[in-house]
C-alpha cells in the first residue's frame, strides 16, 4: 500500500529590530530551515520587516512593498526555494501619516498574491506593564478578506489582536477557511495570560488549524518593547501540535530566536472533526456571521 505524506507547515520565530537588513537575514535563515524540513509554506510573525521604538519611527521606516528591500528579499527567497511565505509587514497608508499593518502571502514564484490589513488595533494600558497605542501610527483595516487556496488548504488571514475577537474567525470559517493565521508580537503579560488559551479557543470553535508565528524578546536597546514568543500550530481539536519557546523569565532572555517548528496539516482529520462534531448554528435565534 502506498503511503501519502501530509503537507507540512512551518512556523518561524524572530526578534525584529529597526534594521530591515538584520530582520531579512533572520527570515532567510528560517526559509532555509523550512525548505530543508520539507515544508509547503512558512509562516512568519507580524511586523517581520521592522519594529520601531515609537510611532514616528514606525511611519518613517515604512516603504511600499515594491521598494522594500525586506519584501523584495523575501520574494527572491520564496522563488529560490519555491516556498510560499506568509509574512507581516508595514505598508504606507494614504496621507503618509500612518502605516498599514499588513499580512502578505508570497507564492512559490515570489509573487505577492494576497494582502490582509489588520482590523483590530492594539490600544492598551497594562498595569505594571506596557502602554501601547497602535492607533497612533497604524490605520485599521477595512474588511475581512476571503480565504484562498494554498498547498496546505484554504487559508484565512488575521493578525495578532484580531485573536481576541471570535467574529472574524467565524466569518472566515463560514466562507470556507480550513486554516487561520495569527502572526503576532504579543506582549509578555498578555501572552502569559491569554496567548495559548485564545489560540486554542479559535481553533476549537472554528474546527480549523490555527498557525501563529510570534515575535520574541526585546526589540530595542532601551528594552521598551518585548514580545512573548511561543509560536504555535494548533489542530482542529484544539491540540497544540507544534510550539517554540519564548519569554518567561525576569532576565528577558529570548528563547528559540531564529527557529522553526513544523507540523503536518491533515485535512482528512479536519473533515473528521467537523463531521463528527457538527456545529449546527441557531441562526433562527442569533444572526449568522458571514
Q: Please identify every residue annotated as catalytic.
A: 46, 118, 160
Show the beta-strand stretches assigned E in the chain. 8-13, 39-43, 85-92, 99-106, 112-117, 123-125, 131-133, 138-139, 148-149, 154-157, 179-181, 209-212, 216-218, 226-228, 232-234, 240-243, 259-264
Q: Which of 169, 136, 166, 135 has its CA nearest to residue 155?
A: 169
Q: At what angle do helices 188-206 and 166-174 cross, to 10 degrees?
A: 30
And the C-alpha cell for 123? 490600544
- What is the sign, positive or negative, of the torsion defined by CA atoms of 266, 42, 36, 191? negative
Amino acid at each position: 500500500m502506498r503511503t501519502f505524506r501530509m503537507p507540512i507547515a512551518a512556523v518561524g520565530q524572530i526578534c525584529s529590530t529597526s534594521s530591515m537588513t538584520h530582520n531579512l537575514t533572520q527570515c532567510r535563515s528560517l526559509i532555509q530551515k523550512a525548505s530543508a524540513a520539507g515544508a509547503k509554506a512558512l509562516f512568519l510573525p507580524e511586523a517581520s520587516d521592522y519594529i520601531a521604538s515609537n510611532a514616528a519611527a514606525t511611519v518613517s521606516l515604512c516603504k511600499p512593498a515594491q521598494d522594500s528591500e525586506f519584501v523584495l528579499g523575501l520574494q527572491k527567497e520564496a522563488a529560490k526555494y519555491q516556498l510560499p511565505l506568509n509574512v507581516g509587514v508595514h505598508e504606507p497608508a494614504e496621507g503618509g501619516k500612518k502605516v498599514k499593518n499588513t499580512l502578505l502571502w508570497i507564492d512559490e514564484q515570489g509573487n505577492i498574491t494576497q494582502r490582509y490589513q489588520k482590523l483590530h488595533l492594539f490600544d492598551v494600558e497594562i498595569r505594571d506593564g506596557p502602554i501601547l497605542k497602535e492607533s497612533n501610527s497604524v490605520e485599521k483595516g477595512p474588511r475581512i478578506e476571503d480565504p484562498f487556496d494554498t498547498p496546505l488548504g484554504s487559508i484565512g488571514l488575521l493578525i495578532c489582536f484580531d485573536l481576541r475577537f471570535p467574529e472574524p474567525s467565524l466569518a472566515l470559517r463560514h466562507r470556507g477557511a480550513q486554516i487561520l493565521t495569527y502572526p503576532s508580537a504579543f506582549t509578555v503579560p498578555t501572552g502569559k495570560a491569554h496567548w495559548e488559551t485564545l489560540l486554542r479557543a479559535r481553533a476549537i470553535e472554528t474546527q480549523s488549524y490555527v498557525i501563529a508565528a510570534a515575535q520574541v524578546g526585546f526589540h530595542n536597546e532601551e528594552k521598551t518593547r518585548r514580545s512573548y514568543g511561543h509560536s504555535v500550530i494548533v489542530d482542529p481539536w484544539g491540540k497544540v501540535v507544534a510550539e517554540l519557546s519564548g519569554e518567561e523569565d525576569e532576565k528577558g532572555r529570548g528563547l528559540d530566536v531564529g527557529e522553526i517548528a513544523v507540523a503536518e496539516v491533515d485535512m482528512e482529520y479536519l473533515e473528521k472533526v467537523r463531521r463528527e462534531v457538527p456545529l449546527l448554528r441557531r441562526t433562527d435565534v442569533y444572526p449568522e456571521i458571514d
